[in-house]
Structure 1
Amino acid sequence: MPNPDLSFMTGETDLFGLPLNFALIVPGSSPKMKVKRWPSENFAYIANALISNKITPVLIGGKDDLDIINAIQERCPKLST
């Protein structure tokens, strides 16, 4: 099996104003089956741990994910919006 092409991951982050050390968090895994979602407090724990280690967490998602993103932001006061 050939290695996957991951060249897209080396793009310019300057376009988005992101720091050098960041991690993407995608909490909205299943908008129609919310019971399958990992709880917001778990994502907030991870976000707080990243911040403690000088890594900027970046929450991404669509409009259906706003409820869980807002809940994570409430539990992670140092998370910038």
Structure 2
Amino acid sequence: MNIIADNGFYEVEYENEYYEHLEFVRIDHICEITYVTLKNILTGEVYTFDTDRIKRFRKIMKVMPTIKENHVADSSSYSL
């Protein structure tokens, strides 16, 4: 399972349970098993999932970057 650890919100179906509004916390590799830890942003609950037992993993939204771009002219030809 390929999990990209970037900013965003996820939905997970795990052992016939459905989890949503999750954000990535970390990935652990313990005894040849990969675990992903996600936190529900609404309730604050933290879940750790065995990646081999996840039935569905879907990114639902990308978080806007915290750095705002400055859209000022980049060359002197656009200056007054």
TM range, normalised to the smaller chain? under 0.3
* Bigger relative CO (Cα 8 Å, ≥ 6 apart): 1
Mark the structure with the bigger radius of gyration: 2
Write 1 or 2 for the structure with the bigger share of strand.
2
Normalising by structure 1, what TM-score? 0.25
Write 1 or 2 for the structure with the bigger share of helix.
1
